[in-house]
Structure 1
Amino acid sequence: MTSKKNLFSHIICFALAVVLVYLLGYPQRRDRILLTYFSLIFLARFPFFRIFFGISFVIAAFYAPIAYYYGPPNVAVISALFETDIDEIKEFFSQLPIYFFLITFLLVSVFILIFIKMPFPHVKNRLLIIFALLLLCYKPTKSVIKSIPSETNHSMVELALNKVKYPFFEFYKALYASGKIYFTEKQAQLEQIQKQNTIPIISVKPSHKNYIIIIGESVRKDYMNAYGFNYDNTPFASQNANIVWDGLISPASNTQSSVPHLISQSIFSDNKTVNAQLNNNIVSIANEAGFETYWLSNQGKLGEIEITVPRIAAYAKSSFYTKKGEYNGKSSHGKFDTLLLPELDRILSDKHPKPRLIVMHLMGSHSKFCRRLEYDIQFELNHENISCYVSSIKETDDLIKSTIDILKKYNEDYSVVYFADHGLAHFNQHQDLRHNWEYQNSYEVPFIFFDSKSISQQKIQKKISGFQFVYLLSKWMGITLDVSHDYMQNELIDIPHQTKIKVKDWKNELYPYEKLKNDPNPYSNESKK
């Protein structure tokens, strides 16, 4: 009887090991599973470790929905946790199938029962203990030995710790490291916003009265007809754009990391890290250049928790938010991007001698896609979420048309640029789209110009990085900065194709774009319905 109970407890420990790795979002590996199993059979019988393991498994059960979508703890997850209000948290959980909650409740109940009631094995086999220790040390030791002949920016201890494939250690270490990066960067940003632009301006020669930057949300270019998508969801851009640029690579795959780099100067401290110099942003540059500056946002501004983008928006001489004191959630239902248009009309009706920069930050194609639609679904694809996504892009195209119609109404020349902050990757057997830094398509975004002084259309196919994009935007506005960069030294169409482009991953480190996986659009050749 005793041996059967002992065998049963070993089976339970092994099953717990397999489940834990999955719940925390790590890839299933033999060493992760075995190390978890060994720690349970060696240590769980002691009260301190029983409590530690019990609490950790309950935390893993609650973390599982986040891991399912976004993987182990990373800067993107920590940023979302601290820069999201209660309404958006509710919205995130409202996207989850009901069985997620049932499974979580069941797991929590089972874990509590196991760690309170189950007798864990008493293992004293020295050979087994030695094997477990060797397994724990193998990867770290191997990484240290391999790094000895080469130069590295990391200490041997750091290299070894990074190779420990023990889920409990990996999870809590990732939480700490991601939190440290987030709060360090946030503190640096808070210090930056006390300053004004520090990039010297050589000359200011705007060729238009009105410059409008439209920042879209979560749009990958291969879902736009202007870039070859089979559904005609960008009729205005396809026919009226003056430049359709195919090749802009966003700096990051989530808004809070990508937008600051797209519209602010990027400071590279080494070949692995980069930070946005928030005071050197397109709005502060325009202010110093003598422009009137405006920020119109349907993304919202949190009350007590100021997210990164509103810190940049605060540089504008005038700002307008459709949502006061919130980002997105139940209170924002029914507040669509078109609410920005009356404010745009009001601004343009005020005749002003200075040139204007107006930034319009859209909700666009933010998940949940169907909730973004002001009107009915316009394109029927195989899945509702994809149908809504494609239709949301059509509504953004309509908004761009309305923006230009308002500009034309006042007979003032203009130049409008539209780009998205980041793309998305397919999920759930191509039935949905989610943030995912591991795919090139999460960084491949539209980049389109509309100009009152040009009637022809050019299509440019050159890959360019979203880092230092603020130089390109400054040049477009006729502002010459004292910087040496292709974006400043060349006219738009003469900017050379770039190679070895890097992007930000979810560890806040630079990663080669070319090494990312590809996520083809399965609907690109689907027949129209």
Structure 2
Amino acid sequence: MKLSKKILFSHFICLSLAVLVVYLLGYPKRIDRILLTYFSLIILGKFTIFRIFFGLSFVIAALYFPIAYYYGPPNVAVISALFETDMDEVNEFCSQISTYLFLITFLLIIAFVLIFIKLPFPTVHHYYLIIFTLILLGYKPIKAYIKFIPTPSHSLSDEIMDNVKYPFFEFYRALYTSGKIYFIEKEAQLNQIEQQNTIPILSVNPDHKNYLIIIGESVRKDYMNAYGFSYDNTPFATQHANVIWDGLIAPASNTQASVPHLISQAIYSDDKIVNAQLNNNIVSIANDAGFETYWLSNQGKLGKIEITVPRIAAYANYNFYTKKGEYNGKSSHGKYDTLLLPELDKILSDKQDKPRLIVMHLMGSHSNFCRRLQFDIQFNLYNENISCYVSSIKETDDLIKSTIEILKKHNEDYSVVYFADHGLTHLDQYQDLRHNWEYQNSYEVPFIFFDSKSTTQQKIEKKISGYQLVYLLSKWMGITLDVSHEYMQNKLIDIPHQPKIKIKDWKNELYPYEKLKQDPNPFFIK
């Protein structure tokens, strides 16, 4: 039977739609995904109910495309950002999206509406095609069923559904499962913050009066001169740091997942699942150890939908936010990290006998980079985004310098540690940097110490995990906890290299750091 040009054209459109939707939803291009979508369109597209379903799903795919372009399919990081973001930050996120992505989205929506209203879908009478589609749909799940090995965190049904490679099913299931994980974790965190520290403290012998933790934002260490970057954007840290540690691997590639694990106890369910025990955090431990505790933040507090980090900050005796009701929106412009310095000066002016723990949470190098800059761009790289990013790191170095100067002014000994929550990965042929869990560089962060009682500099090159860093920080503060861990049992210089580090991916599961891809920095010269 000879096929008419009209029928061939409709088959071509259906095949094109199948290829396109896989890309729009952020999934890897696989022949089974494309074929399953194509066959579902030509077999079911003639029915009104399925035509409506496909039409709505393709419009949703077009709307999701800008997110998929930067962050991939739905995951816990995307869901948490969705629920813990205000309209100002939504506007800022949209302002970073290239105009052509909005244009593509708009044109796609129009095209999809016209196609699913006007296109006459092919009529399929061949039952063998339906049988072939069912075999294709069931091949991977059946194979997974045969090879399945149960674990406490992964059931047989999960394994089977994970292997259904039909884009719409994968997309809607990912939305559901990621949302479920997010809300379960949020409920657990809310229950935890009603508790106090439960880690027994054996002894407290601080060497300094003031301990200051500076948590940076979105800094990968190979963009810092202190770690070999070719532009001199960390002159103070390079010259005055007492310890420059090359090898700290952040727990996750986004703030909301990484910071709680960096400063709270990590609880492992098995080799795939880890959660932060929020009540056992460095602030609550310091409280129990008799420290006065302070949290100074330029990251803002969202109030009714406050994110995880402010829940930890609430344990401090004193909280200061430059932005009370927002995280990072248009009304926060002009509120730079330097606004934390007068508060630090005020705290140190209040003389007291107790040792202090002060945490400063910076906006640092959060995207949009150019909006982070308080001063002019200081380095001219090949595009504005990267120039602003490098300059933002220089402003953080200047802030650390000012912090040390304030500490010195008050004539009290101190120890300061600076680390970043996570790094970033290049995008658009090195034109930009964004969150991406698939690259090692998204986890390779600075770890730098400044000490009023030391005049020498040590450089340590050992890979260590950001999980359980709360033990290392407690040891640094002279607090001995009743835990068995190499961070607690060794001096800083004696902590051994950790060969099998895992990070948290965007499914909220542990993944081997060594299996991640590399994203080289073209300006790195070490």
Common fold, TM-score beyond 0.5? yes
Q: 1:81-124: per-residue Cα shift (whole Å, max 9, x none)?
A: 00111001100000112121111111111111111222111112
Aligned residue type for 1:140 = P
Partner of 1:355: 355
Mapped partners of 2:457, 2:377: distance in 1: 29
Q: CA offset at residue 74 of structure 1? A: 0.3
Q: 1:50-73: per-residue Cα shift (whole Å, max 9, x none)?
A: 111111111000000000000000
> Structure 1 residues 197 and 155 mapped into 2: Cα distance closer, same or farther (>3 Å)?
closer
Q: Does 1:58 align with 2:59?
A: yes
Mapped partners of 2:487, 2:127: distance in 1: 64
Partner of 1:87: 88
Partner of 2:211: 211
Partner of 1:46: 47
Partner of 1:432: 432
Partner of 1:504: 504
Q: 1:246-265: per-residue Cα shift (whole Å, max 9, x none)?
A: 00000000000000000000
Aligned residue type for 1:505 = D
Kindly report which structure 2 residues correspond to 1:278-317, keeping only aligned pairs within 5 A, or say none.
Answer: 278-317=278-317
Partner of 1:321: 321
Partner of 1:20: 21
Q: Is the 8 A contact 2:251 2:503 kept in 1?
A: yes
Mapped partners of 2:434, 2:45: distance in 1: 37
Q: CA offset at residue 419 of structure 1? A: 0.2
Aligned residue type for 1:462 = K
Mapped partners of 1:495, 1:31: distance in 2: 48
Mapped partners of 2:59, 2:519: distance in 1: 34
Aligned residue type for 1:35 = L
> Structure 1 residues 290 and 522 mapped into 2: Cα distance closer, same or farther (>3 Å)?
same
Mapped partners of 1:162, 1:28: distance in 2: 16
The secondary structure found in structure 1 opposite 2:279 is strand
Partner of 2:464: 464
The secondary structure found in structure 2 opposite 1:293 is strand
Q: 1:219-260: per-residue Cα shift (whole Å, max 9, x none)?
A: 000010110111110000000000000000000000000000
Mapped partners of 2:287, 2:40: distance in 1: 60
Aligned residue type for 2:283 = V
Gaps of 5+ in 1: none
Equivalent residue pairs, number:
524
Q: CA offset at residue 152 of structure 1? A: 4.6
The secondary structure found in structure 1 opposite 2:346 is helix
Partner of 2:147: 146
Q: CA offset at residue 334 of structure 1? A: 0.7
Partner of 1:192: 192
Larger mean Cα displacement after TM superposition, 35-44 or 97-106: 97-106
Larger mean Cα displacement after TM superposition, 138-147 or 123-132: 138-147
Q: CA offset at residue 146 of structure 1? A: 2.6
Kindly report which structure 2 residues correspond to 1:58-207, keeping only aligned pairs within 5 A, or say none.
Answer: 58-147=59-148, 150=149, 152-153=151-152, 154-207=154-207
Aligned residue type for 1:359 = V
Kindly report which structure 2 residues correspond to 1:336-485, keeping only aligned pairs within 5 A, or say none.
Answer: 336-485=336-485
Q: CA offset at residue 140 of structure 1? A: 1.3
Q: 1:290-330: per-residue Cα shift (whole Å, max 9, x none)?
A: 10000000000012211000000000010100011000010
Q: Does 1:37 align with 2:38?
A: yes
Mapped partners of 1:401, 1:52: distance in 2: 58
Q: Is the 8 A contact 2:252 2:503 kept in 1?
A: yes
Q: Is the 8 A contact 2:193 2:311 kept in 1?
A: yes
Q: Is the 8 A contact 2:37 2:167 kept in 1?
A: yes
Mapped partners of 1:25, 1:79: distance in 2: 18
Aligned residue type for 1:97 = S
Q: CA offset at residue 6 of structure 1? A: 1.6
Larger mean Cα displacement after TM superposition, 289-298 or 107-116: 107-116
Partner of 2:251: 251
Q: CA offset at residue 2 of structure 1? A: 7.8
Q: 1:26-85: per-residue Cα shift (whole Å, max 9, x none)?
A: 111111111000000111111111111111111000000000000000000000000111
Larger mean Cα displacement after TM superposition, 123-132 or 464-473: 123-132
Mapped partners of 2:281, 2:220: distance in 1: 24
Q: Is the 8 A contact 2:228 2:525 kept in 1?
A: no
Aligned residue type for 1:425 = T
Q: Is the 8 A contact 2:150 2:156 kept in 1?
A: no
Aligned residue type for 2:38 = Y
| TM-score of the pair, normalised by structure 2 | 0.98
Q: 1:184-213: per-residue Cα shift (whole Å, max 9, x none)?
A: 000000000000000011111111000000
Aligned residue type for 1:33 = I
The secondary structure found in structure 2 opposite 1:301 is coil
> Quick one: percent identity of the two aligned structures?
79
The alignment yields a C-alpha RMSD, in angstroms, of 1.2
The secondary structure found in structure 2 opposite 1:277 is strand
The secondary structure found in structure 1 opposite 2:213 is strand
Aligned residue type for 1:37 = Y
Mapped partners of 1:450, 1:201: distance in 2: 25
The secondary structure found in structure 2 opposite 1:327 is coil
Gaps of 5+ in 2: none
The secondary structure found in structure 2 opposite 1:417 is strand
The secondary structure found in structure 1 opposite 2:110 is helix
Aligned residue type for 2:13 = I
Mapped partners of 1:60, 1:393: distance in 2: 36
Aligned residue type for 1:497 = H
Q: CA offset at residue 151 of structure 1? A: 5.3
Partner of 1:272: 272
Aligned residue type for 2:81 = A
Mapped partners of 1:182, 1:493: distance in 2: 37
The secondary structure found in structure 1 opposite 2:304 is coil
The secondary structure found in structure 2 opposite 1:339 is helix
Q: 1:332-351: per-residue Cα shift (whole Å, max 9, x none)?
A: 11110000000000000111
